[in-house]
Structure formats: structure tokens, C-alpha cells
Chains A and B, each alone.
Chain A
Amino acid sequence: MPNLRRPHAHLWAVAVLTAIAVFALAVPMLTGADPRLTDFAAAYQGPSSSHWFGTDPAGRDLFVRTAAGLRVSLVIAAVCAVTSAVLGLAVGVAAGALGGWVDRTVMRLVDGINALPHLLLGIVIVALYPGNLAAIVASIALTHWTQVARIARAEVRAARSATYIEAARLSGATRTRVTVTHLVPAAAGQGIVAVILLLPHAIWHESTLSFLGLGLPPDQASLGTLLQDARAAVLTGAWWTLLFPAAALVITTLAVAAAGAALRDRITPPLPERAIR
């Protein structure tokens, strides 16, 4: 049976991601332009040779602003993902290693958090701490750590029954030592994949919050705030204010998700073939 997953998908994803990274990181540095620089004389202009992505209602160049926004969104997403991962890894490994009532309580908590819609939790947390960047990160981390925790716990439990753990224990290693030197690396591989797969969710989450006015302040460029600007601008026909940030958001999300999925497929051993009857 031929491999149904296109083997070259991950190459495309990596290529797109590289292009995105260049765009997000290099553009602001190279042009030196300030994304907040307003120029009301040039407001509401469509894409042109001087403004590749056009300008927004305040005359800010959208090419630079989109690049800056993309970078901000990515950075925040990365911070959220790492925070989620650390939290999830810690809790997951503890639950898997300690077992018993700790494990049960943790799984109950995980189920509870998973049942609630993430964005709702995010909105509530951010509402109570308006304008606080840490709150934004927390709102995403507190809802997404469960995915990492689940994977970490599963890996730890699988590794626990492995014989090399028994050997280590028998040779006198303490529980903590066994946990740190053996179980954490076992969970790390899957953990990294989980972190990468968290990034699209984090980008989604932050951009939605910023769009609703609950995230970053409007003059701070992020994909969400840019789209918030676009909301009013498109009513006057300024379609470019929507196209470029939206395209950046969707393409980035898809590329990261594809790369993460490809990585996961490489790490996870393929399922055995179905036997012929």
C-alpha cells in the first residue's frame, strides 16, 4: 500500500516557514522602518511600488507593519507554547511517575479544562487583567498545557515499565534520579512535537484576543491588532488591510501545523499493516 502522506509536504512546510521567518525577522531590521510611524497624507493607499502592502488608515506602511506584527505574534506564540510545555511537562511527568491519586486528580483536572472552550477561559482571564501581557500568555498557557501533559504522562508511563528503569532502580538509584535521567528524556521527544503543534493554537488565540480588543493595545502591531484595524478599514473598500495580515496568519498557521505534523510522523513509528484475511 503506497504511503498516503505526501513525503514532500514537510519540505514545502519548511520552505514556507523559512520564507516567513525571513519576512518577519529580516524586514524590520533591514528597512529600519518604524511600524508605528504614521503619515496621514499617505493614508488608505492600495498596494503600490512605494508601499508594497499599501497603507492603513493612519498612513502606516503595511508591509513593515505586517512583518512586525507577524514577528510579535510569533514571539508571543512561542512564549506561550514554551510556558505551556514547561507546565505540561512538569505536571505530566509528575502524574505519570507518581501515579495513584496524584495521577487521578491531574487527569480529572485535564478533562475539566479540556471540556471548557479555550477562548472563553482566555477571554475571562484577560478581561480581569486588562492590558497585561503576562495575562495574555497565562490565558493561553493555562488552557493548552493539557495537551503536553497528556503526552508526557503517556510517555512516562510507557517508559516506567521498561526494563532499563527496573535496572536503574535495582542498582540503587532514587526515584527522583530515575525520573530525571530516564523519564524526562523519554517524554521530551514527543514534548517537542507537542510544542510545535501548540504554536498554531497560540497564534490563533492571541490574534483573536487582540482582534476583540482584549489582547495587545491597538497601536502595538500584532496580527490580531492589524486585523482589528482592518475591520473598520474594509468598510471603506481598503481590502489590502485585510488581505495581507490575514494571509500571513493563515499561511503561518498552516505551515507550522504541517511542519509539526511531519515531525510527529517521523518520530512516531508507523502502524503495522492490516493483515490480509
Chain B
Amino acid sequence: MTIPALTLDGLTVRIPTASGTVHAASEVDLTLRAGQVHALVGESGCGKSVVGAAICGLLPTAATVSGGIALHRPGSADVHLEAARPRTWRKIRGRRIAWIPQSAATYLTPVRTVGEQLAETCRHLDSPHTPAVLLTRVGLEPTVAGLYPHELSGGMAQRAAIAFALAGDPQVIVADEPTSNLDPELTDHTLRLLRAAADAGAAVLLISHDLDTLPAHTDRVAVMYASRIVETGPTADVFADPWHPYTRDLLAALPSGGLHPIPGMPPVLTDLPGDCVYHQRRPAPGFSGGPTHIAQHGDRSVRRLIGAAS
């Protein structure tokens, strides 16, 4: 049994805006284990990026967080991140939790070279690796170090971002849609790199809406709809036998599933009503339309109406 590295316990994130309160995440339970690649999937705008941001401490200051984010390490006390002060985050970010952003080139300072910034990161994280080693590890030529961020191609930028994330040998790696702008070959390469990182001991959270690629490269998957987790389990099992109607519909919408589009639009997350709202798109008797809870069955779980038959 692998060690849990990070546990989300009822994580709820609310972000006030001028047009209402955005329910970015509601009662999210998730466990990331060392050595595993855990996927978090859902349509655009379901809140998965916010979950990633919450884990990395990158939420906007106006956001309110309730519930628990606990970082574990065998032999020392848990670090509770949901209300952590900046001082705590300074010790955690980069060192124990790393973030791989989408469109990585914009997350690098434009007036300095990649190599300079990587060396700086290695220096401040007291990394055992050198920039050259990290670049080679992700499949980049050492000459990339002399390039400026705007000179990187999409694929190169993504790989560079992984190199930055690996610099501190972090326990947890959050990859926010790392392959959404890449071609199939680069997607495969990127996912293999994440797999390798997990094999080296990290717990990887892969946020993605690219479902086709997941069974081959991930161990577990969690499906999110409108700020709530609706189903979790080993990726192969969930894909072969989806329990929640939304998961079924998501898989059916893939080319491999027959390209059946889901009717309607994903809900806007502003001022969502109290519970799972999937029934507003498609009737989901037993799963949506009233108060729901997460029902655990072995290593799989699904969100059901309270009191519904299994």
C-alpha cells in the first residue's frame, strides 16, 4: 500500500467576484499517493485548476478556503496547508509541492534566459541537480538554456516547466493541463516524464481533459463536475465500467466511445445551488437531484443521492 502524500478533506473554495461568488470547489476529497499518477478530469470550467492552485498555494487572495489540505511525510508532523501562512508556503512551494502550469512559457520571466532562471531555481531550492542534468532528464538539449522564454516552442516550454518542477525533488507535483497544446507525440513524451517522476517517488496530480491518454499513463482518476467530485477509482476500472452518469457521458463523448456529445452546457460556477447539479443536464436518477454523498466501494467511490439504492 503506497503512502499518502497529500490528502484533501472536504476542500471547498469560494471566490467572490463582482458577478457573484464562484463555487470553484465543493467538498472535494482526494488522496494523492507517492509513486502514483492521479488524474483529475472534467470539462473546462469545472474547477479542477482551482483544486490544483489550492494545493500549490496559488489561489487569489480573495478566495476563501475551508476543509483540509494535509501534506504528509513519514516521520514528521502533517503540514496543514488550508490556512497556511506565507512563511509556511515559502518552505513548501518548489521544495515539497511543485507546479507545472499550462502554457508554460508565459510563466517564465521574459527578460531572462531559461538557463539563468533554472539555475536560480536550483540555487534557491538547494537542489542536488544541475540545470544541465534537469534539461537532459526532460529531453531538452543543453543549448535550450541560452534561449529566452519567448523563443521556446510549446513542447519545449512544457518540458522546461517539468524540469523546473523536478529541481527540488518535490513530494507532490501538480501538472495543470500539461498536454493540452501538444501534439500526440509530445503528449506521450510528457506523460512518460510524469510517470518517471512518480516512479522516482513523487505523487503526481495530472489535471487534464484529454481523457484518451489517461488509461495508459495514470493509476487513478477522479472525475469532477461543477466543483464536485462525482467519481474516483483506478483509471482502467473507471473507464471500463463507469458508475456515475456523467462519467459515462464523458466517455461516450470521446471518439473511442462513439462521439456522443453531452447535451447542454457545463454550468457556470457562480452561485451554484447546494448539491450536484448534473440532473439539470441529463436526468440522473439515483445520482443527482437532491442531497448527495460519496459512497465508497473498495478503491472506487461515486457520488450518489443519499438513501438511493446501490
Contacts and interface: CB of A to CB of B under 8 A. Distances in A.
Q: Do chains A and B touch in the complex (CB under 8 A)?
A: yes
Interface of A: 1-2, 273, 276-277
A277 B53 contact: yes
Given A1-B17, A1-B18, A273-B17, 9 more contacts: A2-B18, A273-B18, A273-B19, A276-B17, A276-B22, A276-B50, A276-B60, A277-B49, A277-B50
B295 interface: no
Chief secondary structure at chain A's binding surface = loop
A145 to B, nearest CB: 37
Contacts, number: 15
B152 interface: no
- In this complex, the interface size class of chain B, counting residues with CB under 8 Å from chain A, is 10 to 19
Interface string B203-219: 00000000000000000
Nearest to A1: B18
Contacts of A1: 17-18
Contacts of A276: 15, 17, 22, 24, 50, 60
A1 B50 CA distance: 19
Interface in B115-172: none
Interface in B11-52: 15, 17-19, 22, 24, 49-50
B62 to A, nearest CB: 8
Contacts of A273: 17-19
Contacts of B60: 276
B51 to A, nearest CB: 12
A167 to B, nearest CB: 33
A1 B16 CA distance: 8
Nearest to A277: B49
A277 B103 CA distance: 13
Contacts of B49: 277
Nearest to A2: B18
The 9 A-B pairs of least Cβ separation, nearest first, read: A1-B18, A276-B15, A276-B22, A277-B49, A273-B18, A276-B17, A273-B17, A277-B53, A1-B17
15 contacts: A1-B17, A1-B18, A2-B18, A273-B17, A273-B18, A273-B19, A276-B15, A276-B17, A276-B22, A276-B24, A276-B50, A276-B60, A277-B49, A277-B50, A277-B53
A7 to B, nearest CB: 15
A85 B53 CA distance: 51
A274 to B, nearest CB: 9
A2 B24 CA distance: 20
Q: Which of B17, B24, B49, B53: most chain A CB closer than 10 A?
A: B17
Nearest to B101: A277
B24 to A, nearest CB: 7
A276 B45 CA distance: 10
Interface string B181-198: 000000000000000000
Contacts of B15: 276
Contacts of B17: 1, 273, 276
A201 to B, nearest CB: 34
A2 B18 CA distance: 7
B40 to A, nearest CB: 15
B107 to A, nearest CB: 12
A1 B24 CA distance: 17
A125 B213 CA distance: 72
A276 B17 CA distance: 9
A277 B17 CA distance: 12
A2 B16 CA distance: 11
Contacts of A277: 49-50, 53
A185 to B, nearest CB: 32
A1 B15 CA distance: 11
